[in-house]
């Protein structure tokens, strides 16, 4: 009897233990179920046949499917139809062999909308078809990827015309030359310059000028074959590569069509605009042995066409070396000017606080007034200086002149003032740059914190590791660092985080149509959000209207620069401008 009672007690104790364990398991299940349902990340539980068993509300919100609509739905059917055969097989193979997969998927919602998710998939320890075998975690990255792709597009295409930019054009040109060499065919290079474009810019303004460039680009694209590549070279100049040229007559017909496509007037903002172009033509093989020579010869031919009365084309001939001689003449004048720097001066364009309207800093810009040529555009002499290493002495002179003049101005006005100076590609590649900057600061006694050096994102990315070392050296000196023309190069958040930057400057091409172009407005907003997340100050360049100013200020841009506030000023004019602004502020 006693033994039976003891046995019964043990059974009761065992049942009690099982009951407690079941209650714990039930409690654990309820907790996991609560977490599953309340998670903000979309989650799906999938069986071994890759059929959906359960989804959480976040998953339903992402896909627009309710749970009862999608149960036992093949998970791979969510992948967009045009991407399914490409994306799903490696996912399934990885899950079956390794038990996990992570990557980007293009999915399609219930309403047909395409969205992209960063997926993390993990297998669970079960083979029961009624139980979950895999758990799918999705993170919607559609907006992020679209923004990155737009920025990437901007790094390969011209901001005004949306034609291939110089980098992309050069790659296609080299590829065309290689193909010609393999096939034994001919490739033509066209250098196209609009005639009288500067007059239109000066009289009707940059906005209409840019729209004219856009319309001209469209006509060029429609005129050329799909095999051809048309790109914006710079300013009012375009380049085109025509592969597989049959003969000179075929090339003449194409070139004549280019001239004729501009004959019809352009209707832009109630203005009827007539413009023509001049085209220089060279052929490979025959007119040059390398890319640089071909470009130079096509450019020489274009200028010959302009000299012949414009609205014409001209094939390169050896006697067009006159162009090269003219360039060498300018180089001689530049070398002579650099010996004394008497013909150079620095101008300053104010940068203002967008909240208060107060001038906080200025960008220093060089000007050359040649005794023989008059005022020479920086676009003309800076490339020559870059190619012949004169830019190093010019850059150091600008740096020292600006530091000395701004220091004197700050002392007179008793106002600490910052000056921004662009670094050229040649300067940035100099290993001695930190030493040069330090020497200038010591000679002038200029406060390093008042100096901001501007570097383009393309320059920084050319040699990432060397750039990081140099920037950290400059930063250690107390110098502020700014990324210039942001949005025209790599524009990656991951890369930006690596650099010790203080300021980001939004390129004027984004600002120009920010109030009328939804895409530019979205890009500017995205750049501002990106900069704010990194704690960077932001300067909007090219602000020409109150609308530009108001839009950027509303979006949280810190500073503005452009003709809306002031044109670049000599130091004497700069003093008057600053005094006028101070008077207006006090009154």
SS3 of 352-413: EECCCCCEEEEEEEEEEEECCCEEECHHHHHHHHHHCCHHHHHHHHHHHHHHHHHHHHHHHH
- Residue span(s) of the chain under CATH 3.30.450.20 come to 39-140
pLDDT for 194 equals 94
pLDDT for 358 equals 85
pLDDT for 449 equals 93
User: How far is residue 134's CA from residue 146's CA, in Å, rounded to a whole number?
Assistant: 29
pLDDT for 292 equals 87
- Residue span(s) of the chain under CATH 3.20.20.450 come to 327-580
Angle at CA 465, nearest 5°, toward 464 and 467? 65
pLDDT for 519 equals 87
Contact 91, 104 (CB under 8 A): no
C-alpha closest to that of 543 among 350, 398, 285: 350
C-alpha closest to that of 188 among 249, 276, 234, 278: 249
pLDDT for 219 equals 95
C-alpha closest to that of 125 among 117, 135, 115: 135
Q: Which CATH architecture has domain 39-140?
A: 2-Layer Sandwich (3.30)
CA distances from 171 to 4, 116, 294 (A): 92, 30, 15
CB atoms < 10 A from the CB of 150, how many? 15
Q: Is the preceding peptide bond at 297 cis, omega within 30 degrees of 0? A: no
| Secondary structure (3-state) at 110 | coil
pLDDT for 11 equals 65
pLDDT for 553 equals 92
pLDDT for 211 equals 93
327-580 — its CATH code?
3.20.20.450
pLDDT beneath 50, residues of the chain: 320
pLDDT for 587 equals 59
Quick: pLDDT tens for 138-169: 998 888 887 777 777 777 888 889 899 888 88
> Which phi and psi (to 5°) does residue 236 adopt?
-105, 25
**At the topology level of CATH, where does 162-316 sit?**
Alpha-Beta Plaits (3.30.70)
pLDDT for 490 equals 53
pLDDT for 443 equals 95
User: How far is residue 333's CA from residue 555's CA, in Å, rounded to a whole number?
Assistant: 47
- Residue span(s) of the chain under CATH 3.30.70.270 come to 162-316
pLDDT for 434 equals 92
- Give the dihedral sign, CA 195/198/204/210: positive
pLDDT for 399 equals 95
Contact 222, 274 (CB under 8 A): no
Dihedral Cα 174, 178, 181, 185, nearest 10 deg = -70
Question: Which element (helix H / strand E) includes 286?
Answer: none
pLDDT for 328 equals 73
């Amino acid at each position: 009897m006693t033994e039976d009672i003891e046995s019964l007690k043990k059974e009761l104790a065992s049942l009690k233990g099982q009951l407690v364990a079941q209650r714990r398991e039930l409690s654990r299940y309820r907790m996991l179920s609560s977490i599953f349902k309340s998670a903000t990340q979309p989650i799906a539980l999938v069986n071994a046949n890759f059929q959906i068993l359960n989804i959480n509300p976040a998953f339903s919100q992402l896909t627009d499917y309710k749970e009862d609509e999608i149960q036992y739905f093949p998970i791979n059917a969510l992948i967009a139809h045009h991407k399914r055969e490409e994306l799903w097989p490696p996912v399934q193979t990885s899950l079956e062999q390794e038990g996990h997969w992570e990557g980007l998927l293009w999915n399609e919602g219930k309403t047909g909308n395409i969205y992209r998710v960063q997926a993390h998939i993990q297998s669970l320890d079960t083979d029961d078809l009624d139980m979950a075998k895999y758990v799918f975690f999705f993170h919607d990255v559609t907006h992020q990827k679209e923004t990155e792709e737009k920025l990437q597009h901007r790094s390969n295409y011209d901001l005004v015309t949306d034609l291939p930019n110089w980098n992309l054009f050069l790659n296609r040109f080299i590829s065309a030359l290689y193909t010609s060499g393999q096939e034994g065919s001919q490739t033509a290079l066209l250098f196209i310059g609009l005639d009288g474009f500067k007059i239109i810019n000066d009289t009707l303004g940059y906005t209409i000028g840019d729209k004219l460039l856009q319309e001209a680009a469209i006509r060029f694209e429609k005129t050329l074959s799909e095999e051809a590549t048309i790109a914006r070279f710079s300013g009012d100049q375009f380049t085109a590569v025509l592969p597989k040229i049959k003969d000179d007559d075929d090339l003449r017909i194409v070139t004549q069509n280019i001239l004729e496509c501009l004959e019809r007037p352009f209707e832009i903002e109630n203005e009827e605009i007539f413009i023509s172009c001049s085209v220089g033509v060279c052929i490979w093989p025959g007119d040059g042995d390398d890319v640089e020579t071909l470009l130079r010869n096509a450019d020489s031919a274009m200028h010959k066409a302009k000299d012949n009365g414009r609205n014409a084309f001209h094939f390169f001939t050896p006697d067009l070396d006159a162009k090269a001689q003219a360039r060498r003449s300018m180089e001689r004048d530049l070398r002579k000017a650099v010996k004394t720097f008497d013909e150079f001066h620095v101008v300053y364009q104010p940068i203002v606080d967008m909240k208060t309207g107060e001038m906080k800093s200025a960008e220093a810009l060089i000007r050359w007034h040649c005794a023989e040529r008059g005022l020479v555009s920086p676009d003309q002499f800076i490339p020559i200086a870059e190619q012949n290493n004169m830019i190093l002495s010019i850059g150091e002179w600008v740096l020292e002149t600006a530091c000395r003049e701004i220091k004197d101005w700050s002392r007179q006005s008793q106002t600490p003032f910052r000056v921004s100076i662009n670094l050229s590609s040649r300067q940035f590649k100099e290993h001695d740059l930190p030493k040069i900057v330090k020497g200038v600061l010591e000679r002038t006694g200029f406060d390093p914190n008042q100096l901001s050096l501007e570097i383009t994102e393309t320059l920084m990315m050319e040699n990432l590791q060397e750039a990081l070392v140099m920037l950290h050296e400059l930063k250690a000196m107390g110098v502020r660092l700014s990324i210039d023309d942001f949005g025209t190069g790599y524009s990656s958040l991951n890369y930006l985080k690596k650099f010790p930057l203080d300021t980001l400057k939004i390129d004027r091409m984004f600002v120009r149509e920010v109030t009328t172009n939804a895409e530019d407005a979205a890009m500017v907003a995205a750049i501002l959000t990106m900069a704010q997340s990194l704690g960077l100050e932001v300067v909007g360049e090219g602000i020409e209207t109150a609308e530009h100013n108001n839009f950027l200020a509303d979006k949280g841009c810190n500073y503005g620069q452009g003709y809306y506030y002031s044109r670049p000023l000599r130091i004497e004019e700069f003093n008057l401008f600053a005094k006028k602004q101070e008077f207006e502020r006090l009154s």
